[in-house]
Amino acid sequence: MSSATEPAGTEATDDDATVLAATAADATGSVATATATGTDPHASVYDHGFLRVAAVTLPVALADPAANAERHLEVLRDLDAQQVGLAVFPELSLTGYSLDDLFLQEPLLEAAEQAVLTVVEASAELMPIIVLGAPLRAQDRTRVFNCAVTIHRGRILGISPKQNLPTYREFYERRWFAPGDDAAGEEVRLGGELYTVEPHSLLTVEDVPGLKLFTEICEDMWVPVPPSAEAALAGATVVVNLSGSPITVGRAEDRKLMARSASARTQCAYVFAAAGEGESTTDLAWDGQTFVYECGDLLGESERFPRGVRTTVVDVDLDRVVAERRRQNTFDDNRRTHADSLEKFTTWQSTRLFGPWEPGDFWVEGAATGGDEPGVGVPDGGEPGIEVPGVEVPGVEVPALRTPPATGPLRRPLHRFPFVPDDPARLAQDCYEAYSIQVAGLVRRLEAIGGRESGGTRPVIGVSGGLDSTHALIVCARAMDLLGRDRSEILAYTMPGFATTEHTRSNAELLSRAIGASFETIDIRPASTQMLKDMGHPAGSGEEVYDVTFENVQAGMRYDYLFRLANHHGGIVVGTGDLSELALGWCTYGVGDQMSHYGVNAGVPKTLIQHLIRWVISEGLFDAGTAEVLRAVLDTEISPELIPTKAGEKAQSTEDSIGPYALHDFALYHQLRRGYGPAKIAYLAHQAWGDLEAGEWPAGYAEVDKRSYTRGEIKHWLSVFTRRFFSNQFKRSAMPNAPKVLAGGSLSPRGDWRMPSDAASRAWIAELEREVPEA
């Protein structure tokens, strides 16, 4: 395993299963993190920008807060063992939601307040930040608020009142509760202490970068401008919703629609927990639905109508939330538009998930809105001062800083092939849309340059019998169908070189003839030999010197012919190169496969193209003979076929040369779409590819092709990807027009990706070497 430099004064005491990332806040509140030598940097999700959250529903004992407090703690002890950092319970979870006029009874309210204190006391030994529901009396005792109470490590960090109280249809909440939207600064009394009610408070967690928590309650998400929308603009990255929400037919999907749209629109994580078993069924019913969305994606959900406790435990990607907001500049534009309204939001409290949590913790008095706040302070009998790594202040000895616990595998959907959905129905839908986008792009381009009618501009394409040219050819065929033109107007050429096999050459001819294209063979070997000879290259005289010049002479010769043939026949060269090849620079620049008049595959990664061809077969878009040839192409190993192979030698393989497309496409997606650095990409890749048996495989993926990768292999090929991605930007800067196909992004300099062609990859490679272990 790789080693990281250990900060002075930090002693490694944990074993390799625990990530020793020492975290401390200096007097200004900044956070420093270090990883101790000899530890596993992949042991904890918290070291890679994730937060483990739990949305919980549990059987409620109606009007029995003491019993409910114990039930909460039973669940919380289990969640603590699972290293959950945030646990969210339903609305009014300490009493039950369906109590009607009992909410106005003193015995219930007294018991509810005592139940809160019971959980607070027990929370000192528990890791999760707890958000639960309780009715709490205002200090003047004339009002009751429906509250979410946020608790951590023996402290109440926030009390958020429900802002929007429904009093329509089956709801009658204003009969019992006071609206919380204007309750800022109001106080409630718990155990002899006064606590401020804050409808617009945000909780910052200092040692979990990117985590800022906001709480809303049930109806708050159903109004036209929910509190969470403004909270997100004010900085909240995780929104929790404690819900009572009785169930009727169709309401479960409505909840998910609301939460999904909120998480997508505000680029946040949305954690939802609804009341279930134990609520009164006098007039209503309850389903105990829980789920978590992140930026519009469902991370997990639990069984509905359960008997007993149900939890949705998933790992939320805070890095993704932050990166999406950074990239989507209109998010910040919207913040500026609503700046006046956002002034009411405050970071009311802060905490640290991992400690220190010792007697005499350090709290500073005088937070902006009252109460104590984690920071620099003085324990009883101590002198002013605090010690943090790198800062020496006389006075107080700080308890040992705690580190993120080992968490085990990542708990969230993580696809081996991020461009290829695991769900067969979704994969079929994506293939339909991708193929249709490619065809529509080519149709429009042909229409614009005289290809609307028969005899007009013709598609000119080089076919090799490989995946890319095969798919581009069937795109051309469909485009001609839509234009009402005969497929014979497609001019398909195969141009065998020094290493072309009869298998691929035959596939190219069979496919071209099967779909009805005009087909010709042009042997490029004589012209290539002459060029090599004219250049003084040894291969021109028959020597076995098979260098990059030898390869590129062939690749360039093919496209030189194609461009001249297009001139000669009044056509355009249809590019066949794909998104993965552009990312890696696996294409010959200039008059080579980097260039064309119009590209149809440039927005499609290599790992998706085989599924597109399978989809075309399954949909019966071509006849049985064509489908048979397409299957033969799918069974052929990817190869440029540029270097001759002697008897008994293995033929040239693209993936032997530049690495597995599966890993390269994984890296491409997470760098291009998510903006992650190599350390996080390597962590995710090992989670996705480290175990052959874990997770799902896309429909139709051959058993023989399934494999796993070690961290050493992942690190090696990620280094290859990173170096090639940077060094080959100049090819992408000059790429031809081609439609963007996937939300995962494109590499067009006019689209998703812009970078200088002479940028250095040194910082990325340094991170990879420093933070990713070999084994």
Helices 606-618 and 467-483, axial angle in degrees (round to 10): 50
Instruction: Count CB atoms within 10 A of the CB of residue 343.
Output: 10
The catalytically annotated residue of 113, 147, 162, 551 is 162
Give the HSE-up count for residue 113: Cα atoms under 13 Å, Cβ half-sphere.
Answer: 21
Give the HSE-up count for residue 231: Cα atoms under 13 Å, Cβ half-sphere.
Answer: 32
Burial class (CB in 10 A: 0-12, 13-18, 19+), 187: middle
Tell me the backbone φ, ψ of residue 562, rounded to 5 degrees.
-60, -45
d(CA 727, CA 706): 30
Q: Which residues contact 492 (CB under 8 A, 6 or more apart)?
A: 461, 462, 463, 473, 508, 512, 517, 518, 519, 520
605: cis peptide before it, omega within 30°?
A: no
Helical H segments across 328-414, by residue range: 329-337, 339-342
Nearest CA to 274 out of 295, 296, 292 is that of: 292
d(CA 234, CA 43): 33
SS3 for 191-203 is CCEEEEECCCEEE
Q: Are the beta carbons of 60 and 211 closer than 8 angstroms?
A: no
Element housing 240 (H / E): strand 238-243
Nearest CA to 347 out of 177, 227, 214, 457 is that of: 214
d(CA 51, CA 318): 7
Instruction: Count CB atoms within 10 A of the CB of residue 134.
Output: 28
| 91 catalytically annotated | yes
Tell me the backbone φ, ψ of residue 34, rounded to 5 degrees.
-140, 150
The residue whose two tokens read 């109280």 is: 165
The catalytically annotated residue of 218, 268, 295, 431 is 218
Per DSSP, 674 falls in state S
d(CA 736, CA 21): 47
Nearest CA to 251 out of 228, 285, 226, 292 is that of: 285
**Could you give the strand order of the β-sheet that contains 310-317, starting from the edge strand earlier in sequence?**
155-161, 144-152, 129-137, 86-88, 50-57, 310-317
Element housing 533 (H / E): helix 525-535
d(CA 188, CA 549): 79
d(CA 28, CA 364): 12
d(CA 239, CA 220): 12
* Catalytic residue annotation: 91, 162, 218
